[in-house]
Amino acid sequence: MNKIKLMSHLVAGYPTDELSLTAARALVKGGAHILEIQLPFSDPSADGPVIQDACTKVLERKYRTQDGLSFIEKLHKEFPDTPIYLMSYGSLIYTPGVEAFCKKASEAGVKGMIIPDLPFDHDEGLTVACKANGMENIPVAAPTMSDERLAKLANAGFKYIYAALRAGITGENTTIDDATIKFLEKVGAGGSKIYGGFGISNGEQSAALASSVEAVVAGSVFVRIISENQNDAKALSEKVEAKAKEITHS
């Protein structure tokens, strides 16, 4: 069986920097191809309760954007061959200035930016700033988009597009059906490589998606495992690695 590429999602610093690092190591060991690291945010619009709760707990420790970038830098030094994407929300990168933020992110080792609340055609200069700093802006396509808008995004020349497999928030279970595959075909119609996520938690789902995407994206499932095993680093590591192996079929 061919190995399925996995983009795994972690909240930087959750529940501690050390345990977050333990989880990242387990993900790489389990076959994760890309590490998507979320900077904790106080009012996330796309995240389900599991990730929202993780963000809240990290922010309660007075965790700053710079702490998240330092965490990414540490990961990049340990895993220089594993691409790291930064996921956050517009206000976090707009406040210090998009260009300044992208420069800092690139210096930390970030290869791509996923900012779901910045539309691809009104992105406050994110795509240009990413290119200037050797990164990719990875816009998000949603099933609620009109066919016209979806076609515009698909043909806008992005190397990668993140396809949210259903409307709503992350973490709820997602059924992969004919409508899902048709949506992915529309997103990829312009030649962009597609990352498909939202509610991916098992090998059955990733197998159903495998032929339609560049990589499957899984997040809440890992954050849940981390949350449930935060008092036992060994169990946390083993369970995260096992779940990554299940999703990648490795």
Say which residue the tokens 């956050």 belong to: 88
Count of residues making up the chain: 250
| Cβ partners under 8 Å of residue 106, min gap 6 | 133, 134, 135
Rounded CA-CA distance 80/205 in Å is 29
Name the burial class of residue 240, with classes exposed (0-12), middle (13-18) and buried (19+) by CB atoms within 10 angstroms of its CB: buried
Inter-residue contact 41 to 55 (CB < 8 Å): yes
DSSP secondary structure string, 111-161?
Answer: EEEE-TTS-TTS-TTHHHHHHHTT-EE--EE-TTS-HHHHHHHHTS--SEE
Rounded CA-CA distance 139/144 in Å is 15
Which active-site residues does the annotation give?
Answer: 36, 47
Inter-residue contact 163 to 184 (CB < 8 Å): yes
What angle (nearest 5°) sits at the alpha carbon of residue 235, between those of residues 51 and 53? 15
